[in-house]
């Protein structure tokens, strides 16, 4: 997609709408994702197709297309490669900037900048003109001001020798603007000569302001999937083998599989005292108030899953019959159906639950069943456990458990 320019904000040009390209993210996250042959771009890249930039064109073979009526058309992209490598890019970009200024100001800004004073040479009149110009400039919108700065830089031919400025200007004269997908496209360019296939959504002959609007909406409106729903999907929508098959790809895509594994047990395993009592972002949102917060239970369970507390380390060493913390924690965090940390978590919280009337183990009927209060209670008890002498935890094990996990 070398034919699409990316109007980024930069020190040279502030008027662009694209964010700065994060090369570290491209190399660390996006390129490795695309290097897996099973992965592809999850969504289309969005471009603004420009009818004519002076040096390049996007042409449709149909002049009239009614809204809401799908039609088959041919898009032809014409590029004057010779002109794009010459100083004509600055003249073309200057014409683009002047058109935008004319549309937004009715020529007022250009007149202030370009029209000489009729009384030039008269000091008194010059002073009055200066005041008028100051008055007008105070009313100039900030966006118009940055566009004027771009115009001034383009008119100053000494900037044409600046390599960074030239590279930035090239993006303003190509036949399309890349509205969404710059990191994916940048990563694809590093895969090889053939790159990667993309579905392209093209906005034909869209005004600059429409492209800015689309960029804003695309990046502002999407609502990320909450971790609780990701956990629910991985736990309930995949068999154990299916989850194993794509675990590496999910990790590469940014899914925290350790959290998924932990919260799948805590939220859905029948042995968990909190089974079906956590808000996993599924079902009717109106029932959310009757559930414990996902984040609160994640915090509580993480203490057990990490197993770094003094008492848990000693228990793990006893279970593994070892003096090595590394070996003990590997056993403690074992990813089998019933990892030791989860068995002890269940024993701990069942003991607490069974110490109170059943009606108190539900939201809204007591001050106990609140995430922050449960965490504080756990912390108090575990601090006391950490203070016990080491021999307290010798030959420690949870109650026998012969069940399989959910999913």
Question: pLDDT tens digits for 305-329?
Answer: 999 999 999 999 988 888 999 999 9
pLDDT tens digits, residue range 128-152? 444 444 333 445 567 778 888 889 9
Phi and psi angles of residue 213, each rounded to the nearest 5 degrees, phi first: -60, -45
Flag whether pLDDT at 274 surpasses 70: yes
Taking the C-alpha atoms of residue 46 and residue 52, their distance in angstroms, rounded to an integer, is: 18
Choose from 286-290, 336-340, 342-346 the range with maximum mean pLDDT.
Answer: 342-346
* pLDDT of residue 68 exceeding 70: yes
Above 90 in pLDDT, residue 350? yes
- Answer whether 300's CB lies under 8 Å from 378's CB: yes
Q: What are the structure tokens assigned to 160, written together?
A: 């044409």
Determine whether 277 is exposed, middle or buried from the number of CB atoms within 10 Å of its CB (0-12, 13-18, 19+).
Answer: middle
**Burial category of 166 from C-beta neighbours within 10 Å (exposed 0-12, middle 13-18, buried 19 and up):** middle
pLDDT in the model for residue 398: 61
Instruction: Identify the pLDDT of residue 212.
Output: 86
Q: What is the dihedral of CA 285, 289, 295, 298, to 10 degrees?
A: -100
Angle at CA 1, nearest 5°, toward 165 and 183? 75
Q: What is the pLDDT of residues 77-115, one digit of tens each?
A: 999 889 888 999 999 999 998 988 887 665 444 444 444
Asked whether the predicted pLDDT for residue 210 surpasses 80, the reply is yes
> Which residue is it, tokens 């924690």?
329
Percent of the chain with pLDDT over 70: 84
Res 124 pLDDT > 60: no
Q: Is 402's pLDDT higher than 70?
A: no
pLDDT digits over 170-197, tens only?
Answer: 999 999 999 998 898 888 888 876 778 8
Question: Please, which residues have CB within 8 angstroms of residue 20's CB and are 6 or more apart in sequence?
Answer: 8, 9, 10
Question: Given this model, what pLDDT does residue 271 score?
Answer: 92
DSSP string, 158-199: GGGG-HHHHHHHHTTSSSEEEEE-HHHHHHHHTT-TT-----
And the tokens for 394? 């010798």
Q: Give the tens place of pLDDT for each residue, 33-58.
A: 888 888 888 889 999 999 998 899 99
**pLDDT at 395 (0 to 100):** 59
Q: Per DSSP, what are the bridge partners of residue 45? A: 200
Residue 117, both tokens:
């004073």
Percent of the chain that is helix, strand, coil (3-state, to 5): 55, 10, 40
Residue-wise pLDDT for 360-370, tens only, equals: 888 776 788 88
């Amino acid at each position: 997609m070398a034919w699409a320019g990316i109007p980024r904000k930069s020190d040279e040009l502030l008027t662009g709408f694209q964010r700065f390209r994060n090369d570290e993210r491209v190399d660390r996250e996006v390129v490795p994702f695309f290097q897996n042959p099973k992965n592809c771009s999850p969504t289309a890249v969005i471009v603004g197709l420009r009818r004519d930039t002076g040096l390049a064109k996007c042409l449709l073979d149909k002049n009239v297309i009614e809204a809401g009526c799908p039609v088959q058309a041919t898009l032809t992209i014409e590029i004057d490669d010779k002109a794009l490598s010459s100083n004509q890019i600055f003249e073309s970009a200057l014409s683009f900037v002047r058109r935008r200024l004319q549309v937004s100001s009715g020529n007022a800004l250009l007149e202030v900048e370009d029209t000489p004073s009729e009384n030039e040479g008269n000091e008194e009149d010059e002073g009055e003109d200066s005041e008028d110009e100051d008055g007008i400039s105070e009313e100039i919108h900030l966006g118009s001001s940055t566009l004027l700065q771009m115009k001034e830089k383009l008119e100053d031919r000494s900037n044409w020798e600046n390599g960074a400025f030239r590279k930035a200007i090239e993006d303003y004269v190509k036949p399309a603007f890349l509205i969404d997908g710059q990191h994916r496209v940048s990563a694809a360019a590093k895969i090889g000569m053939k790159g990667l296939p993309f579905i392209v959504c093209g906005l034909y002959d869209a005004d600059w302001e429409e492209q800015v609007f689309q960029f804003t909406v695309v990046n502002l409106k999407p609502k990320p999937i909450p971790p609780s729903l990701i956990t629910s999907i991985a736990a309930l929508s995949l068999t154990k083998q299916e989850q194993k098959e794509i675990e590496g790809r999910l990790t590469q895509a940014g899914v925290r599989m350790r959290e998924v594994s932990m919260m799948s047990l805590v939220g859905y395993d029948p042995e968990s005292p909190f089974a079906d009592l956590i808000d996993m972002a599924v079902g009717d949102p109106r029932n959310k108030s009757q559930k414990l917060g996902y984040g609160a239970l994640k915090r509580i369970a993480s203490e057990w899953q990490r197993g770094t507390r003094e008492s848990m380390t000693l228990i793990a060493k006893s279970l593994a019959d070892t003096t090595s913390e590394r070996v003990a924690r590997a056993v403690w965090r074992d990813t089998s159906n019933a990892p030791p940390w989860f068995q002890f978590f269940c024993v701990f919280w069942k003991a607490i639950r069974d110490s109170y009337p059943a009606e108190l183990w539900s939201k809204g009927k007591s001050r106990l069943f609140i995430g922050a209060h449960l965490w504080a209670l756990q912390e108090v008890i575990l601090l006391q456990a950490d203070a016990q002498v080491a021999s307290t935890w010798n030959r420690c094990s949870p109650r026998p458990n012969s069940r399989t996990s959910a999913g």
